[in-house]
Structures are given as structure tokens and as C-alpha cells.
Amino acid sequence: MTAYLRNVAALAAKDLRTDLRARHTMAIVMPFAVMLVVTSGLVFGPGRTMLIQVLPGIIWLGALFAAVLASERSFENECADGALLGLILAPVPRGAVFTGKAIALTAQLIVLEAGMMLLGVILFDLPAMARPLELTVVMFTGAAGLGALGVLFGAFASATQTRSGVFPLLALVLAAPMLLGATRGTAAALGGEDPGDWLSLLAAFDLIAWSLGALLFESVLED
């Protein structure tokens, strides 16, 4: 178990370092995310009620876009430079490879979500501290589900050479339950309500996404 965890930590750190050096995700997604938040505030005006309902959807659509982009770019680059073949041939459990990659992607999504939320709170004076603990749990749980799903679909797209126009549509369809739970849970926490029911949906989605990812990742890579 200790060796497994070391492999997971090493793979997650490697993916994070690679993405930070290449700036695949943040350099492209952050300007897009800022534009979404600012535009939504300008369109819907200063009313808190409407913004509380709209901002969560903007945040999670941005997170989905980031997950799709980051996973596609990561697997494309690893295929191009032979790193993915090295991972396949390395004596490392495939579950550890999947887990490390999913953790790295989840960490990037959490940073993106926090930045978008902070921007919305500062620009539009939203009550982010109404239920800070519940809001944090929703953001982490939703990001974890997207991270697992993004890595699995990134591997699938790399193995099947699925074009980029198809991949986001497939990800959007399968992520629909997570997007619903994350959006409604975030809106509930921002509005001072209990997001417990939506957290249950997110937890169920995470369990399915991580379990399926660990089971299918090896066969997808070998194909």
C-alpha cells in the first residue's frame, strides 16, 4: 500500500509539474473563465438573487471545459513524446496511474473554481461565507468527479483518436448528473441553504466515476 501511494503521489506531482511548465490549462481557461464571470454579472445586473443562481452554473461549465481541455492536451502530449508508452510499460499499477492523473486534474480544477468563485464574490459582493464549509465540500466533491471523468475520457479519446468535437459532447452527457448536483449544491450553499441532498448526488457520482475509472483505465490504455 505504501508503494502504491508513493506511485500515486509521484504521478500526480509529475502531471502537475508538466502542466505548470506547459501552461496548457490555466493560460487558456482562466481568461475564458474571467470573461464568463464578468459577462454574467453585466448581463444579469447587480441583483444578488439572480447572480447566486447563475454563477454556480458558470463556474461548473468552466470547470468542465477545463477538464476536457486539460485531459485532451495531457494525453496528446504524452502520446507524442512517448511518455504514455513508458507509463504502460512501467511496472506501476494502472490504478495508481489513473488515481495520480485524476488527483492532478482535480487539483487544477479546484484552483480554477476557487478563482472563479473569488472573482464573483469580489466583483458582485456575493455572500460566499453564508455556508463556507458546505460550499468547500461541494467544490471539492464536484471537482473530484470531474477529475476522474476527465482522465478516463482523455485516455479514451487518445486510444480511439476521437476528434475534439465529439469528446466534449460525450463528457457533457456523462457529466450531466454531476453538473446538476454541483450547480444546485453550490447555489444552495451560496444562498445559505443546506446542500446535503446535492452532496449525496455528488458523492454517488464520484464513487461511480472513480470506480469505473480504476476498472476501465487499464483496458483503455492497452487498446
Query: Is-contact 175 146, C-beta < 8 A?
Result: yes
Mean pLDDT, range 112-133, rounded to an integer: 78
How many other C-beta atoms are found inside a 10 Å radius of the C-beta of residue 215? 13
- At residue 201, the pLDDT reads 94
Question: Given pLDDT bands bounded at 50, 70 and 90, which one contains residue 183?
Answer: very high
Query: Is-contact 77 212, C-beta < 8 A?
Result: no
Residue 216 pLDDT > 90, yes or no?
no
Nearest to 140 by CA among 174, 101, 112: 112
- At residue 178, the pLDDT reads 92
Where are any strands of DSSP class E within the chain?
none
Residue 200 pLDDT > 70, yes or no?
yes
- At residue 137, the pLDDT reads 94
Residue 88 pLDDT > 70, yes or no?
no
